[in-house]
Structure 1
Amino acid sequence: MATTTPARERTRREIEQQAMTLFVSRGYDATSLQDIATAAGCSKATVLYHFNGKPAVLAAVLEPSRIALNKLVTEAAGLPAAEAQEFTLTRFIDLAVEFRGLINVLQDLLPTIEQYPEFTELITDGIRMTELLAGGTDDQLEADLAKFAINGLLGECRHPGERTDAELHTLCDTALRRILRLTP
């Protein structure tokens, strides 16, 4: 017997998909709840029934990337420092390429992201990923190099149409390894 998706779930999914498209094309700040509702073919009240505001919509849109980042840092945490650093570098590049459209949205939100409780786990995992990329050391230079590498990678991923996924992956892998002084 075929199963059908309940209408509420379909509506929520449509809101998330349309919000992602609008956030990527217009930016978070330039997209209103009414814009999302119109694109999803529903009312603003329907959007607010499913989400308690625009930050909650964005949190839902970012949920797959948040889960992937959490999985990355959880898996890396059980590895020796050098292996964890290599694993983190490789998986972070994979995630950045996979979610490159959302990086631009996230980058625009970074200056104020701590104001939103919806993103606490994402922030915590981002900090942990930085520590892993630094090789698990307390050396401030290594920590700063890891931050620099992450910001450079995120900056490059803000331009989704300029490189193919393969080109972006190669560029990010080469750049991060050079900055972090790691061999391929």
Structure 2
Amino acid sequence: MAVSTPARERTRREIVRQAMALFQANGYNATSLQDIATAAGCSKATVLYHFSGKPAVLAAVLQPAAEDLAALVADAAQLPRAEAQQLAIDRFIDLSVEYRGVVDVLQDVLPEIEEMPEVAPLVANGMRLIDYLAGSDDPLEQDVARFAVNGLLGECRHSADSSDEDLRRLCEVALGRLLRRA
């Protein structure tokens, strides 16, 4: 006998799915809760039943990427610096390619992301990722790592004509050239 997903869970998933599409197409700030509700085929009250507000919807949209980033940071924390840097580079490339759409959404909210406690763990793990990518406590290496991350995320965002493999290759070459190995 097949197990079915409860209606509430299906509705929640649809809200998140539609929010992702709308945030990516229109931007976070240009998308209202009513827009999300209409796209999901429910009322705004239903959206608010599942989420405390638009930042909570955003957190749900970002959750899979945030969980994978948290796992990367936790894994890197267990390794010596050089190995942690290589792991961070390899997995950052994978995450950048896998979550291209999320990068669109994330780039749109960066100016106000620190004001959203719902995504604070994602921001904190992003900062830890920079440390691992830099492979050093040197401020210049940290700046280069930040520069590399921002550049690659920007390329992931505007890479509609690039295949995943092309984007992966670009990320590998760029990070290899920009980041000194620890």
TM-score band, normalised by shorter chain: over 0.9
Q: CA deviation at 1:111?
A: 1.1
TM-score by length of 1: 0.96
4+ residue segments displaced more than 6 Å: none
Structure 2 residues not aligned, in runs of 5+: none
Q: Distance in 2 between matches of 1:177 and 1:35?
A: 42
Q: Distance in 1 between matches of 2:15 and 2:30?
A: 17
Q: What corresponds to 1:180 in structure 2? A: 179
Give the match for residue 169 of structure 1: 168
CA drift of 1:173 comes to 0.8
1:92-126 alpha-carbon deviations (Å, 9 max, x no partner): 01001000111111011111111010011001100
Determine if the alignment matches structure 1 residue 67 to structure 2 residue 67.
yes
User: 1:101 touches 1:160 (CA, 8 Å); kept in 2?
Assistant: no
Q: Name the % identity.
A: 63
- Give the partner amino acid of 2:42: C
**Gaps (5+ residues) in structure 1?**
none
- Equivalent residue, structure 1, for 2:140: 141
Q: CA-atom RMSD, angstroms?
A: 1.2
* Shift of residue 162, structure 1, vs aligned partner: 2.0
CA drift of 1:66 comes to 0.3
Taking the aligned partners of 2:37 and 2:20, their CA distance within structure 1 comes to: 12
| Number of equivalences | 182
Which residue is 2:43 aligned to? Answer: 43
Equivalent position of 1:23 in the other structure: 23
1:89-100 matches, cutoff 5 A: 89-100=89-100
Specify the code of the residue in structure 1 equivalent to 2:138.
D
Matched residue type, 2:156: C
